[in-house]
A and B are shown apart, each in its own frame.
Chain A
Amino acid sequence: MAGLNLADDTPMEVVPEEPAKPPAAVEKLIEEAKVAIAEQEKSEKRSLSLVVVGHVDAGKSTMMGRLLYELGRVDEKKRIANERGSAKIGKSSFSWAWELDGTQEERERGITMDIALQTLNTPHRIITILDAPGHRDFIPNMISGASQADCALLVVDAAVGEFEAGFERGGQTREHLLLVRSLGVSQVVVAVNKLDQVEWAKSRYDEIVGLLKPFLVQSGFHPSKTKFVPVAAMDGVNLARREPANSMLYKWYKGPTLVDLLDALDAPTRDVNAPVRFPISNVFKGSTSGVSVSGRVCGGIVVAGERLRIIPGDESATVKLIDNDGENLAWAGAGSNVNLTLTGVDPISLNIDSVLCRPGNIVPLTSTFTAKIIVFDIQIPITAGTSIELFHHSRDVPASISRLISVLDRSNGSVVKSKPRVLTKNMSAEVEISLRGSAYSGPASRALPVPLEPFSVNKEMGRILIRRGGETIGAGVVLELLT
């Protein structure tokens, strides 16, 4: 018996496995990319991404369509085609929006349903535009877009009654602003649209600015990082060029145009040394062989030719091509929105909301975690066990708030009360969130874990939003992964 070493309690020494090192060629490319990115940060021309938000029918897509035309991204032929097409089904007022609203259903209904991606070139910036849907049913898509953005452009409708509808309780002007702020966007440009419908009245413009300013401050936007601009998107007034001085607007407005403001947006610094995280926001069949995925690099540098793990799952894929707006790149750094063409993988293992990581350092999976949340302006309080939808990048999963740990002081984060019975509006709290399984009993009732990281490890991977019954009830950051 002694020979079996049964009494020996000294644990076997566990030799940690060396993480797989990327091949030398890939490593060289990463080094090159780091140098290039450092240089780019000093240069004049910098890239950033901008999400366009606002209440439904504020004119977001129309403004972007017109802006693309003004900056020469849409040629005359296409413009005429859109004009004809939209007039044919009796929706000629949507002709500019057709540039971004590509699907048949969007065009027929005259409403944006999903994010549209475009690139704008201003004198000093390369701006990736994410045109978000304004309708409340499509907020999941809007969240998916906003989590890929650095800055936001808020479009509000100046027409009488329309602005108020968007700004009221339950209006999307309000909700979108809170959402983008919670997702880490700190700069916002507010375009007051459709001023031509109120005869370019300065009083109306001032009224709207006066109403929005306090709300923006209250939502956590710094006043120096919020800019306002009056425009009329349909006619292209004050978008890219100034009108003659005698026009209605320029009698009282002497400020910059929309493009001037966009050109002056600050590009954030990127964390290129972080581990690679690439949350997938779209999977489609590319023009070449292989599958294409698009998304935003949320940390590190992705280089062509390397092999990435797909989380969740056991598969990995080789990055064959990286392209951005039709241009092939050798690498893509944190913060860039790119398409990756992947080979050596079955498309079935790629899902919208999977995360690509480098094999040596993969994102953890979790089904229960603690988070620090801020409760929004809600009517029905949050109790332990509240069913919620958890949003994280493009992922939308059912979950429940399994435990209310403590109520925190909003200003200094100290514990005010532990184990509260309910959370009411505007509270800050620490809670435990568990994902829900898909069935009521049996094996399927176990929840499938999702990739998440604590906020302290990766900011972009650690932000979550919680919604209930079509209303965003809170936003927060992941503190600790429990399982």
Chain B
Amino acid sequence: MKLVAKRVEKDGSGRITVRPEDDEDMWHLYNLIQAGDRVRAAGIRRVQNVSTTGSVDSRRIRLHLTLAVTRVTWAPSAAPGAESGTTSGAPNAAPAATAMVEVSGRVAEENQHVKLGAFHTLDIEVNKDVRIEKDEGGWDSVALGRVEESCVPGRGAEVAAIVCGEGSAIFCLLSEHMTVVLQRLEVPIPRKISTQSSAHEKGLSRYYQSLYASFLRHVPYSSPALRAIVIASPGWTRDAVFDFIMAEASRTSNKALLTARNKFIKVHVNSPHVHSLVEALKSPEIASQMKETKFAREGIMLDKFFKMLASDEMRAWYGPDHVALASDRGAIGTLMISDELFRSSDPAMRKKFVSIVEDVQQKGGEVLIFSSMHESGQQLNQLTGIAAILTFPLDIEVVEAEEREAKEEAERRKAEAEGTAA
């Protein structure tokens, strides 16, 4: 994403103009734009003119519209690799942006074609400027942090991962903030019946064939942005898959694929499901290569949280209320929070979470904002979306009792005050 213009006042109101470039930028925009903002972007609108004779003339006009946002929706890209081959001409280039962000709302600035207050839905387009205008307090530290993060050039290291089991494969593409499931492949393989039957072997070879075909279609192996291709599976399927891909590549003399050989990493995981991705990413083979990427860090931290939960339950807290209590006591060492919480339509809720984040940062704690388009973020979402590792142990029951006392105390005081006043 490119930052075109930025004008934010001290009170957090102001406007920022950006130019999205790929799928991930769309995801950032989806997280930035909130109900109540004003968004100005290019769009197409059908304009009807009724002439004096009563005939209706309808045209599509390309125009810039400013909307007061009521709803933002997100549609993830559908198999980006599939189109890249045909549209860009060069096979196996980096995938084009196909994710969509739709912003609906009422038109906030009138022009000669559209009346004020008319409804419109804008499809945010790639490489077209988008201006986001927020009211006072709208550009909080989290939102500004997100803008900054998304406009850093040269990110976009990507990892392709194939999680496979016998007869199944899931193709995923991981970028900094997103995991896109490109395809799931399932080939029925008859299980072994007797020693004579070759049905199992036939099924297997059919499976390898279709896996290879999908691999060519989906994995942009020759793109320089693609850092690694991870093949993860239980058992020995990953070895067989890798051998088959390489054998096919040399049989069809696919030079590009053969040179990408050292991008492949084989990892053992325990189950052939998408959630094994977290397991794959924290394996030593990958962790050493991907240490600085966001998704690896998230996975490692979440793992640390669960381990802490096992070893020292009083230092691992989760749930918005509990974490808020821990934050009040300045106990948070690492805060993990899902971006889904910031997308909350209730501004008060967002403010509450932002204040927790700022509070932790101020006290020198680490804050990780998980992307819910990653497996680790999904798992955090399941775990109420917010969790923290504390620097010192705190007993929840004790803290809750304290809170209750403080509340009672406050009420008593209030009652007393009222009593004296009366």
* Chain A residues engaging chain B, CB cutoff 8 angstroms: 98-99, 102-106, 109, 113-117, 135, 137-138, 140-141, 281-285, 294, 351-352, 379-381, 383-387, 389, 396-398, 400, 402, 421-422, 436, 438-442, 444, 467, 469-471
Contact partners of A389 in chain B: CB under 8 A: 271, 273
Q: Are A439 and B270 in contact (CB under 8 A)?
A: no
A285 to B179 Cα, complex, angstroms:
38
- Report the Cα distance A193→B36, complex, angstroms: 73
8 pairs of A and B residues whose beta carbons are closest in the complex: A385-B382, A470-B270, A284-B190, A102-B195, A385-B383, A398-B273, A137-B234, A137-B235
* Segment touching A, from B47-55, B138-146, B306-314, B326-334: B306-314
Most chain A beta-carbon neighbours within 10 Å: one of B190, B196, B372, B382: B382
Cβ 8 A contact of B235, one of A99, A138, A351, A469: A138
* A398 B199 Cβ-Cβ under 8 A: no
Say whether A385 contacts B184, CB under 8 Å.
no
Residues B369-402 near A (CB distance < 8 A): 372-373, 378-379, 381-384, 396
Q: Could you list 14 A-B pairs, sorted by A, with CB under 8 Å?
A: A103-B192, A109-B236, A115-B191, A117-B193, A283-B190, A284-B190, A352-B191, A380-B306, A385-B381, A387-B379, A398-B271, A438-B181, A467-B271, A470-B234
CB < 8 Å neighbour of A380 from B170, B194, B196, B309:
B309
Say whether B44 faces chain A, with CB atoms less than 8 Å apart: no
A122 to B327, CA, bound (A): 69
Instruction: Write the B204-230 contact mask toward A (1 if CB under 8 angstroms, else 0).
Output: 000000000000000000000000000
Contact B372 A440 (CB under 8 A): yes
Cα distance, A379 to B381, chains bound together (Å):
22
B279 within 8 A of partner (CB): yes
B383 adjacent to A384 (CB under 8 Å): yes
Q: Give the CA-CA distance A352 to B190 in the complex, in Å.
A: 9
Is there contact, CB below 8 Å, between A99 and B372? no
Flag whether B275 is at the interface (Cβ < 8 A).
Answer: yes
Q: Is B201 an interface residue (CB 8 A)?
A: yes
The interface residues of chain B lying within 8 Å CB-to-CB of A470 are: 234, 270-271
How many cross-chain pairs have Cβ atoms below 8 Å apart between A and B? Answer: 113
**Inter-chain contact A441/B309, CB cutoff 8 Å:** no
**Known contacts A283-B188, A402-B382: A380-B310 contact under CB 8 Å:** yes
**Contact indicator B188/A102 (Cβ below 8 Å):** no
Q: How far is the CA of A213 from the CA of B271 in the complex (A)?
A: 32
Contact A385 B271 (CB under 8 A): no
Interface residues in chain B, defined as those with a beta carbon under 8 Å from any beta carbon in chain A: 74-76, 170, 179, 181, 184, 188, 190-197, 199-201, 234-236, 240, 270-271, 273-275, 279, 306-307, 309-310, 313, 318, 372-373, 378-379, 381-384, 396
Q: Kindly provide the distance from the CB of B133 to the nearest chain A CB, expressed in whole angstroms.
A: 26
Name the residue of chain B whose CB is nearest to the CB of A109. B236
**B177 CB to nearest chain A CB (Å):** 12
Cβ B384 vs Cβ A384 within 8 A: yes
Chain B proximity of A418: nearest CB distance (Å): 15
- For A439, give its contact among B76, B196, B234, B383 (CB under 8 Å): B76
A residues less than 8 Å from B75 (CB atoms): 441-442
| Residue of B with least CB distance to A379 | B310
Residue in B201, B271, B373 whose CB lies within 8 Å of A396: B271
Report how far A422 CA is from B194 CA in the complex, Å: 46
Is there an interface contact between B271 and A113, defined as CB atoms closer than 8 Å? Answer: no
Known A109-B236, A379-B310; judge A438-B274 contact (CB<8 A).
Answer: yes
Question: Does the CB pair B191–A281 fall under 8 Å?
Answer: yes
State whether A282 touches B181 (Cβ < 8 A): no
Q: A398-B273, A470-B271 are contacts. A387–B382 as well, Cβ < 8 Å?
A: yes
Contact A352 B188 (CB under 8 A): yes
Q: Which residues of B contact A113 (CB under 8 A)?
A: 235
Q: Which residue of A381, A396, A469 is within 8 Å of B279 (Cβ)? A: A469
Q: Which of A99, A380, A402 contacts B195 (CB 8 A)?
A: A99
Contact indicator B181/A383 (Cβ below 8 Å) = no
Given contacts A99-B195, A387-B275, A436-B275, contact A422 B309 (CB under 8 A): yes
- Which residue in chain B gives the minimum CB-CB distance to A106? B192
Chain A positions within 8 Å of B196 at CB level: 102
Q: Cα distance A440–B193 when bound, in Å?
A: 37
Among A380, A439, A440, contact of B307 (Cβ-Cβ < 8 Å): A380
Contact status B309-A383, CB under 8 Å? yes
In the bound assembly, the distance between CA atoms of A20 and B373 in angstroms comes to 47
Which chain B residue shows the least CB distance to A141? B191
**What is the CA–CA distance of A282 and B191 in the complex, to the nearest angstrom?**
6
Shortest Cβ gap from B16 to chain A (Å): 25
Q: How far is the CB of B86 from chain A (nearest CB, A)?
A: 22
B189 CB, nearest partner CB in chain A, Å = 9
Q: How far is the CA of A471 from the CA of B372 in the complex (A)?
A: 26
Set of chain B residues within 8 Å of A384, measured between Cβ atoms: 382-384
Contact of A103 among B200, B235, B373 (CB under 8 A): B200
Asked whether, in the complex, the Cβ of A103 is within 8 Å of the Cβ of B201, the reply is yes
Q: Which of B74, B307, B396 contacts A421 (CB 8 A)?
A: B396
Most buried by A among B196, B309, B313: B309
Partner of B190, one of A98, A105, A282: A282
Q: Which residue of B lies closest to A287 (CB)?
A: B197
In the complex with contacts A103-B201, A104-B201, A352-B188, A469-B270 CB distance below 8 A: yes
- Residues of B close to A471: CB separation below 8 A: 270
B193 near A284: Cβ-Cβ < 8 Å: yes
Which of A102, A281, A402, A438 lies in contact with B194, CB distance below 8 A? A102
Q: How far is the CB of B315 from chain A (nearest CB, A)?
A: 13
Residue of B170, B184, B190, B384 most packed against chain A (CB within 10 A):
B190
B197 close to A284 (CB less than 8 A): yes
Residues of B close to A281: CB separation below 8 A: 191
